[in-house]
Structure 1
Amino acid sequence: MSKVQTGNSAAETLIRDAACLLVIDSAGPEPKLLMGRRHSDQVFLPNKWVFPGGRVEDEDRRFADVFGGLFSPGDLAREIKPFALAGIRELFEETGLTIGTAGPLPDPSPTWRTFAVSGQMPAPARLFPLARAITPPGRVRRYDTWFFMVDAEAISADHSTTDGELLDLGWFTLAEAGALDLPNITRLVLDDVASILRAANITHDTAETLPFYYSDGSAFRRDLISCKVAPPTP
């Protein structure tokens, strides 16, 4: 669902949909997050440290329409489901980690053939919607990105083969991650993660709103939105 932000010429940039996964290992004394560094020759955010993720493809949308598994929350809005699936696919391609359940992926599309080698079905019910952000105008590329959290306990397999898009993949505490060379939005989402980890009572079912970062043309905003299906109008 690519979009074009209209207005002045600097803002007329194609906005592509994307998804990022924040994998959190809570087994040790301090939670750790999986991050990688982008290549220096990449046009968008070169050398920056980011969470695994990438673009939402048309095949992700078609897959979401026929996917029979569960999402989290159970009433996740239909338009967000392709983002959750894309996040799982991109995590596998960039890190080799699988968030899935037993059972092969039937008749995978070209976009999903790499994931299909895992021999599993994606398990988006293990993801936790965390935030949404749209890249501000004036950037070389712009994305409408949904960020999801997932506990490392949900990793069902670890394959060594990756696409090499991220360098120096590693696990970092919140403090260590904060000291890396991060994009501004990654730093803001990192703060959101810290708040959630401090509020141990927040679960998939209790989080009613999440932050939405975007530019309204005059200022960068942080609003609260819902990731759930809107109730019918009386």
Structure 2
Amino acid sequence: MTEPAPSEPRLSATILLLRDAAPKPEVLMVKRHYEIDFAAGALVFPGGKAAAADASPDWDDWTDGDFGPVQQDARIAAIREAYEESGLLIARRRALRGPGAPLVGADIAELLAPHRSAVDRGEMSFLALMKEHKLVLALDSLVHFGHWITPVMMPKRFDTHFYVAPAPLWQIAAHDGRETTDAVWLTAEDALAQERGGTATIIFPTRMNLAKLARATSVDDAMSTFGAEPVISVLPKVGKSPDGEPCLYIPEEAGYGQTMELLSRVNV
């Protein structure tokens, strides 16, 4: 009997929004709703599948930064998902646009907050919302941090780009109540400690990217350090551990400091 061909992974994007705290920077994590079909109940970074509208050429005049088709689409998706799931908006006033220009503050985020659900459900265009309020997405604020592709044996597969970005100053994160049930700021170390202690569920790619983030000593350090490092694509491969247990292997050159994970620990 012929093995079925692997499903094609869908372009997705995830964003690690960072803020400075003592002794280490904190990252925004949201808790997935228990009735969601993927990573139910898990602590994750805001993110999700790219939508067809994220690839619209009309975005060209409403974004800062030029990153090519896949990276532009994924960055737009990351910012849209962060807005939908947390209310944080990585955008600038169009009249004050340009790489490095200040992001909008709490006033604009609060003004647009009532539209989060409509954008999430596809009832309102995110691009049209930006045009109406004369805003541009600050794609240049995002640093490419990781690239993970779901293993070929999984029925649902994602081609996910991870980004780090400074959280917009003064904006307040709040979960959406539909896909997410909580929004919390945690150091990478605290999040990993919760997972080890059994008080949080964190899936394998999220855990690995938290471990990578733990190297950063500040937001500026994260942006400069990870911005200078190459991103190696990770497609975990099924194998056996030295003890004969089923596991996943990832490439050493990806820089996660770990190359093997037992399937019993993957939490997918």
Scaled to the shorter chain, the TM-score interval is 0.7 to 0.9
Within-5 A mapping of 1:147-166: 147-152=162-167, 154-155=168-169, 157-158=171-172, 162=176, 164-166=178-180
1:50 maps to which residue? Answer: 44
Aligned residue pairs total 211
> Is 2:173–2:183's contact at 8 Å kept on the other side of the alignment?
no
User: What CA distance in whole angstroms lies between the structure 2 residues aligned with 1:24 and 1:136?
Assistant: 28
1:22 maps to which residue? Answer: 16
2:146 to 128, 131, 136: 131
User: What CA distance in whole angstroms lies between the structure 2 residues aligned with 1:123 and 1:168?
Assistant: 25
Higher fraction of strand: 1
Matched, 1:141 2:163: no
Following superposition, the deviation at residue 192 of structure 1 comes to 1.7
User: What CA distance in whole angstroms lies between the structure 1 residues aligned with 2:13 and 2:20?
Assistant: 22
Question: Cα gap change, 1:111/1:54 in structure 2, threshold over 3 Å: closer, same or farther?
Answer: farther
Unmatched 5+ stretches in structure 2: 96-118, 195-199, 240-247, 255-268
Q: Secondary structure at the match of 1:145?
A: strand
> Is 1:213–1:223's contact at 8 Å kept on the other side of the alignment?
no
Moved more, 94-103 or 190-199: 190-199
RMSD of aligned alpha carbons? 3.4
1:232 maps to which residue? Answer: none
In the superposition, the TM-score normalised over structure 1's length comes to: 0.75
In the superposition, the TM-score normalised over structure 2's length comes to: 0.66
* Deviation readout 1:115-151 (Å, 9 max, x if unpaired): 5499332111111110000111333421000000011
Question: Cα gap change, 1:98/1:121 in structure 2, threshold over 3 Å: closer, same or farther?
Answer: same
Higher fraction of helix: 2
Following superposition, the deviation at residue 97 of structure 1 comes to 0.7
1:34 maps to which residue? Answer: 28
Following superposition, the deviation at residue 216 of structure 1 comes to 5.0
2:235 maps to which residue? Answer: 214
Q: Secondary structure at the match of 1:203?
A: helix
1:167 maps to which residue? Answer: 181
Matched, 1:189 2:180: no
Unmatched 5+ stretches in structure 1: 1-6, 226-234
Larger Cα-atom Rg: 2
> Is 2:24–2:216's contact at 8 Å kept on the other side of the alignment?
no
Following superposition, the deviation at residue 42 of structure 1 comes to 1.5
1:80 maps to which residue? Answer: 71
> Is 1:19–1:145's contact at 8 Å kept on the other side of the alignment?
yes
* Paired letter, 1:17: L
User: What CA distance in whole angstroms lies between the structure 2 residues aligned with 1:44 and 1:201?
Assistant: 28
> Is 1:20–1:51's contact at 8 Å kept on the other side of the alignment?
yes
* Paired letter, 1:12: P
